[in-house]
Every structure is written in C-alpha cells, then in structure tokens.
Structure 1
Amino acid sequence: MDNFRWIRPNINLKCFIKDGEYNVILHNSGDLVSDFKYYAEQFYAGAENLMAYLLNEASSKGDIAKLDLWYFAIVYLYRQSLELLLKSTLFQYIVNFEDRKIAIGSIRHDLAQGLELLLNSIPEAKESQEHEGVIWLKSFFEDISRVDRESDMFRYPFGNNMKVLFEKQTHISLVATQTNMQTAFYILKDINKKGCSFIGNHIVYDPKLIIEGGAYYEQSVVGYKYAERKFYPYFSSYEEAAKHLENEIKQNHNSALFLPMCYLFRNAVELGLKRIILEDSHVPYDEAMKKLKRKKHSLVSLWNSISVEIANYANAPDDDTTLIDTNKYIHEFHNFDQESDIFRYPVNKKLLTYFGDGQTFDMLNVAGCFHELCNFLDAVDGMLSEIKQVELEMMYEYESEMHSEMNYYNDY
C-alpha cells in the first residue's frame, strides 16, 4: 500500500524534471475536429480502463463498494467522450467560427439536440435516417438527454431543482452499460470517420442508458434512501476512480489516462468542498444551498465559505502550517482551472484553445497534489461531522435533563 498522502508546503502543479519518465505534453492544435476527437478518445480510454477493472478484478473479488460507487464517475467519462466525439464530428460540417460558437452555445451538453443538428448538417444523412445504427443512436441519445440533459446528474447528488437521479434502489447492469456506451461510441466514430453511409453493426441491447439486471457481481446498486442528496457517494466515486487511474499511470506510464484522471480529481475536490459546506458546517441549510448555487465551480469561493470554521475547530498548534498550505493548493488549482473545463475540453466557451503553445506536466506530480488535497478534505469532513454528532448528543442530553426537571416540578 502506498504511504498516506497529505498536504505539503510549496505546491507546484507545473513542476517537472527534464526528460522525466512521467512527463506529458498537453498541446492542442487549434483544429477543433482533431482536438475534440483526441479528448474524446482520452475520456473513453479512462472509462474503459475503470470498467475493465470493475468487471474483472472487482467482480472476481466481490468488491461491492467499488462496483456500486465507481458507477457515477465511469458513466460521466463515457458520456463526456460521446459529447466530445459528437462535437468533433459536428465541426466537420460547421466550419465557420461564429457558426460553431452558435452551435455549441445552443446544444451545450444536450446529446440528442447535438445529434439532430449533426444529422441535419450531413448531406447524405437524409438518405440514412432509416439505418438501424442511426435510429439506435438517436434513441440512445434521447434517453441520455431525458435523464441527464445538462451533464450534471452523474457529477453531483442533485440538480439545480434538487432533483435526484435515483429515487429508489436500482440494480444496474454494468455489462449492459459498457456495451451500450461502446455501441454509441463506435457508431459515432463511424460517422466521424466515414459519414452515415458506413455505419457498422454494433447493436446488442436496447438504446437505454440505465438497464437493470445482470449477474450479481456485475451490477452497480445505487439509490440508497439514506444517501439521497448526500455527497459521499459522488465524492468517493470520483476520488477513488481518479486514484485508480493514478496507479495505472504509475504502473504503465499511460498518458491517455492523464486528462480523465485530472478531471475526476478536480470534480472530487469541488464535491469535497461542497460536502463540507452543506453537510458538516454550521451554516444554515438554506444559506449553504445558496452558497453552492452562487459559487458553482469556484474552488476559492467555496473554500473561503468554510475555511474560517475549519480553522476554528481544528485547534492546530501555532506552528502548524496545514491550513496555510491547503490555501495554496486551493488557489493553485483554482487559478489553473477556474471554470472546471480545462481538463475536459480543448477550448473554453468562446472556442479559444487551451494549451495552444504546449505545456509539460509531470503526471504523478499533478496526481499527487490532487490526491493530497482530496485526503485533506475527507479528513475535514470526518472531523466536522464528528463534532456535529457530539453537539447533537449534548443537545439531546440537555433537552432530556430539562424535560426531566419540568416533570419533577409538575409533580408538585
């Protein structure tokens, strides 16, 4: 087992050794067709790696925790790969810069709307509307958009309207999930490469995102009532999946896993901060919800909402620099990725290219910094939740004593 990772002084995300064995260069060309396709392949590789682990090692060991919890992170990676590949294909037919901005702004994350726009943009697609691959893909994307139109239901425990995805316990087939994601990716890849006239035959299951059933140790069981609207399943899913990809990079030097690993860690940090604010802090619930909605993806704003309370309850020695060092981590990650998009898209919302000049990273250095911050946030959650539990028990004892005294005086 690796040594426990913890916050260190002087974080530096951009630190790397010349010719280091874990160096990777992020360099986007500015060609949106190729850049979006490249990102799509990275996210797909991440999802496939994680799913292969679940259906082989975790399944054979009966590791229920991983089978259940990793589901959210894996489905997000698959879904993101489809969105990226869809947009890459769309940019083959929409080439004007302003038209591309309008198209991206209108479809946002809606796969069904994006596919409809794509099919209307491909000349030969009109003759291919009855192809079973096109019909299947349209139905599958419509189902995804029905469940997750804004691409947030697998990233957060609830949407802006407080809607939860799974209102009851659901046994989901991981085999069917993987197969349908592979089917969609292969069909879309055929369209991306050859157009609608050359779609292969990949269909196995009905075009549904969530298919129940399957062998017991090939299922993900989600929707526990006690965990409804709780951050733990999502934080754990993203953190543990990211740590697995970190280990894969360490063992196999697989640079294709770097971007998905970074995004999983980045979302875990955001989830960890939001969990502390909503579930552990003494901020009233309604006010905490307003903070979450207002501050969105801003790590610095989320941290500033809770850092004083953490410091007050930590009761650390005067020479302890952990909170000062943590503040540096938060600002480093925030300044690098303020909109939570630099690891999942090759461009920003204005279609301006990220890493256009190329930038070198030490994959394990970046992973380690994320890993350490996630461990800190998890520890803070444990500390504050224990304090709140003690306070509740003290309040209960106080109320019980007051009730007993009132009964005593009432007897007279």
Structure 2
Amino acid sequence: MGDSKSIVADPQFLKIGGNAENIIIIQGNINDLANEFFIYSLNFKKSAHIITEHLFSSRPDISKLDTYFFSLAFLYRHSLELILKAIGFQYIKEQSERKKFIKETFHNMAEILREVSPFIQDQIENNRGGYNWLVSLFDDMSLKDKESDSFRYPFGITVIKDQDPFLEMPKKYGIKSFFDKQTHIDLIAFVCKMEVAFNILSNYYSNTLKIIEDYKKYKPLFLEEGGGYYGQSVVGYSYSRNRFYPYVKAYTESADILHQYMNKKTEIKGSLFIPMCYLYRNGIELAIKEILFEECSLDHQSAVKKIKEKKHSISALWNSIRSEVMRHVGVSDEGHLLNVEKYIKQLHDFDGASDKFRYPTNKDLQVHYNKPKKFDVDNVAGFFGQLSYFFHGVCLMMSAQNEMQADMEAEYRAQMPDEYDYSN
C-alpha cells in the first residue's frame, strides 16, 4: 500500500498546496441561475464524453464496459437534467415560481421537458421531429429512471403496503433491483443518443433555429439492447451478493480517470472538478452502504431500514457501521479509525446533503459557492482516494472474516451428532 493511499493523521480536504497549476477557484453567479445550470450541464456532459473516450480508446475492456456503464449513464443523464432546468430558469424568473418548477418536476426528465415546452415553441416548430423524438426518449427514460437513482444505487427501497393499518407495527421494507435481469445494452447507441439529445437541448437553450437531424439514426429508446460484443454493456444479474461493488468501482475509478485527465490537460481542471468530486463522493457513500448491507451482522430489514433512514448522510452512515468495523479491525487500530473519522467529519461538514458537487444550488435555490472558493485538485482527489482505499480494504477484510466464520460454523455443525436439533 503506497503512502499516497494511506489514511493520514491530519487530513485537510480544503488544504491548498504550493503548486499553482493545481488550484482552481469556483464561484457561482446568484444573478444568473440559468447560466449556472448550463455550465454544470456542459461539465457533466464533457466528463461523460471523456469516460466514453477512455472506454473505447483501445480494444475495450469488457469488464469496464459492464461496470463503468453506471457512472457513465449517470453523467450523461444528469447533464440532460441540468440543461433542461437551465432552459426553465431562462424563462421562469420569480424565486417562488422557480421553487415550484423544481418541486413539481423533481428529476423527471419527461415532466421537465413538458414544463419548458411552452417557452420554446419557435424551436419546437422549427424541428418538430426532433422534439417528438426527445419526448419519446424521455418518456421511455422515466419508466426506468424517473428519480435519477437507477444508475447511482443498485436498488430502490419501498415500504411494504400490505400491513395491517390498525396494528402499531414497525414498517417493513422491500427492495427492488433496478436491473433485475441480465440486459445487453447497446452502449454506442446509448452514448450517441445522449449526445444528440444534449445537442437538441443546447439549441433550445441558445435559442438557435439550427435543425439537427441526427436523431433520425436512433430509436427513441433509452436503454436499447443489442450492439457488438465490444460495444455493449451487460448489466443485471440474478445473484444477490455484491450488489454494491460494481457501483463503487464504477464511480471511484471514473473519478480517477477524470483526475488523471486533468493532470494531462490542466486547462480543463475547472470543468471536470465538480463532476470528479461527485463521482468520488457517491463512491464513498456506496462503499459505506456496501459494508452496511453486505458485511455487517444486521438482518435484512434492519440493514435496509438504516440505508433508507440515513439517506446520503456520510456521518450517519458511518455511525451505523462503526462498532462492527471496530470489532473486525480490532482495538489496536482504534487510533487509525479516529483518523478516518476526521475524514468523515470534514466531508460531511462540507457536503452533508450530497448536493455541493451535483447542483450549483441547494434545494432552496441558494447558490453553493456565492463567494470564491479555492480548491487544490490533487489534494481533494488524494483525500477521496485515501478514504475510498480504506473502505475497500475494510470491506475485503470483513468479507473474508465473515466467510471464515461461516465456514467454521458449518464445519462445527457437520461434526455434531445428526440427532441434535440446532433450531431449539
């Protein structure tokens, strides 16, 4: 384990180093939310494009095509949501109306497009076919990813409805995998559709009457199956274990790719920094949930309940697994865990609601960076990398110990007399 990935005693998420090329300054514009959302949309789309280029830069790695699909799909999908909201904010000026617009449409792409369509009638009439294609695409998208979580998490959590309303019983939860069967997604077609959709929406935003006809090459299906062997992503499996791992890997390694790209092209650091941080941040959240759901000694209901209740809170999620992590790593490493908790606190204090690196504003449409904020790109990436590496190691260790304990218990039971009833 190299020093660069080791947890340190004095982590400083906001530490600024001496290399000026690593420093970026972020400042939002409270007076032009439309442009703020548009810039974010461009940056997330640009990040998705870079991940795509990485995947197809040489002979594709099949495992990466299958895994990175989750982070790639989110980046593209989020860029479209952001630009749709940017279009809305061009015409919806009152703060109360803007909040109503956000609340009523939430993450539903089809609904956002319908809400903004009265404002862009000239562009729509100029290219009715392109608009109808978008409507069909977003309607299909909403069937699979209405709430923008199908590519961020392995499953959704629901409250089981068939409970007696007259009995004061704890809520029971169920989970539903977003991809519950093996699906061969045409990744090249998917990427092309996302790019075409973004170009059409860019024309709407810039009030350009240029006609885009590339949409005619593609069916308005969000996740179209097919494609060649080296041009498809295979997702969705029947097994229940390791639900989180592909997502953790996708988000963390995609963030690494963006960081490496920024180091080669320093002029693009300001564009990729926010998407990189979101990928890292979501990877950390997923890693903690992986340990909570798959390695802690909680029954299914308890684990799902905690994930549901703690939502995106890094601090609350950590507190849910801390005692079990301590039990597995041993008292001798308590000082190490105290250092880890410094990372947890700094990250939670900066981004407790998981929106600082996802949107330019909070849910009340207050700009996150209303004053200039300096970041050291390498320091931030190192901070996330060290925390990610720690959780990956903990998960592997707990998994090995749990498997060993299960084998020992099975062996012990096998050696006991057959007539002994273990259920009593």
Please indicate the TM-score interval, normalised by the length of the shorter structure: over 0.9
Deviation (angstroms), 1:406:
4.6
| Residues 14-33 of structure 1 aligned to structure 2 (within 5 Å) | 14-17=14-17, 20-30=20-30, 31-33=32-34
Whole-angstrom CA distance in 2 between matches of 1:106 and 1:100: 10
Shift of 1:192: 0.5
Q: Deviation string for 1:302-355 (max 9, x for gaps)?
A: 00011111112212536x632011101011111100110110100000000111
Is 1:241 the counterpart of 2:254 in the alignment?
yes
> Which residue in 2 is equivalent to 1:54?
55
SS of the equivalent of 1:329 reads helix
Tell me the distance in 1 between the aligned counterparts of 2:241 and 2:210. 44
Structure 1 gap segments, 5+ residues each: 408-412
Distance 1:228 1:281, change over 3 A: closer
Asked if 1:261 corresponds to 2:258, the answer is no
Q: CA deviation at 1:221?
A: 1.0
The residue correspondences of 1:278-289 to structure 2 (distance < 5 A) are 278-289=293-304
Say if 2:351 is the partner of 1:357.
no
CA deviation profile, 1:199-241 (whole Å, cap 9, x unmatched): 4222121111111221211111111222577111111111111
1:198 deviates by 3.7
Structure 2: segments with no counterpart, 5+ residues: 159-174
2:9: which partner in 1?
9
Q: Which moved more, 1:215-224 or 1:295-304?
A: 215-224
- Which stretch of structure 1 is more off in the superposition, 140-149 or 2-11? 2-11
Offset of residue 123 of structure 1:
4.9
Name the counterpart of 2:61.
63
Confirm or deny that 1:368 pairs with 2:379: no
Contact 1:110-1:145 at 8 Å conserved across structures: yes
Which SS does the other structure have where 1:305 is aligned? helix
The 5 Å alignment of 1:316-331 reads: 316-317=331-332, 321-331=335-345
The question of whether the paired residues in 1 share the 8 Å contact of 2:124 and 2:131 is answered with no
SS at match of 1:345: coil
Give deviations 1:385-410, integer Å, cap 9, x for gaps: 11111111111112112244659xxx
Per the alignment, residue 410 of structure 1 pairs with: none
1:334 aligns with 2:348: yes
Contact persistence 2:69–2:233 (CA under 8 A): yes
> In the alignment, residue 76 of structure 2 is paired with which amino acid?
Y
- Give how far 1:160 is off: 2.1
**For 2:14 and 2:101, how far apart are their aligned partners in 1?**
34
Give a deviation string over 1:63-90, Cα, whole Å, max 9, x none. Answer: 1221110000000000000000000011
Question: Match for residue 166 of structure 1?
Answer: 179
Distance 1:116 1:228 in 2: 40
Please list the CA deviations of residues 274-319 of structure 1 after superposition, one character each: whole Å capped at 9, or x if unmatched.
111110011222111110000000000000011111112212536x
- Equivalent residues of 1:191, 1:199 under 8 A apart: no
Structure 2 residue corresponding to 1:224, chosen from 237, 242, 248: 237
Q: How many Å separate the matches in 2 of 1:321 and 1:358?
A: 35
How many residue pairs get aligned? The number is 401
Cα separation, 2, equivalents of 1:70 and 1:398: 42
Deviation track 1:95-145 (CA, whole Å, cap 9, x = no partner) reads 1111001000110100000000000233536745x7111001111111111
2:340 maps to a residue whose letter is: T
Contact 2:292–2:320 (8 Å) recurs in 1 = yes
Cα shift readout 1:134-160 (whole Å, capped 9, x = no counterpart)? 001111111111110000010000012
Task: Report what 1:91 is aligned to.
Answer: 89
Aligned 1:65-144 pairs, distance under 5 A: 65-124=63-122, 127=125, 131-144=128-141
TM-score by length of 1: 0.93
Is 1:201 matched up with 2:221? Answer: no
Task: Answer whether contact 1:50 1:241 (CA < 8 A) is retained.
Answer: yes
The answer (yes or no) to whether the contact 1:167–1:228 under 8 Å persists in 2 is no
- Per the alignment, residue 153 of structure 1 pairs with 150
1:248 to partner: Cα distance: 1.2
CA contact (8 A) 1:157 1:228 kept: no
Deviation at 1:165, TM superposition (A): 2.1
Q: Deviations over 1:7-42 (max 9, x none)?
A: 111111111136611111111111111100000011
Match in the other structure for 2:163: none
Aligned residue for 2:233, secondary structure, equals strand
Identity %: 38
CA RMSD of aligned residues (A): 1.9
Q: Secondary structure at the match of 1:306?
A: helix
Q: Give the drift of 1:2.
A: 7.8
The answer to whether 1:381 aligns with 2:395 is: yes
Q: Of 213, 224, 230, which residue of structure 1 is paired with 2:226?
A: 213
Is the CA contact (8 Å cut-off) linking 1:164 and 1:228 kept in structure 2? Answer: no
Q: Secondary structure at the match of 2:157?
A: coil
Q: Aligned pair 1:303/2:318, yes or no? A: yes
> Are residues 126 and 84 of structure 1, via their aligned partners in 2, closer, same or farther at CA, if it must alter by over 3 Å?
closer
Equivalent pair of 1:164/1:229 in contact (CA under 8 Å): no
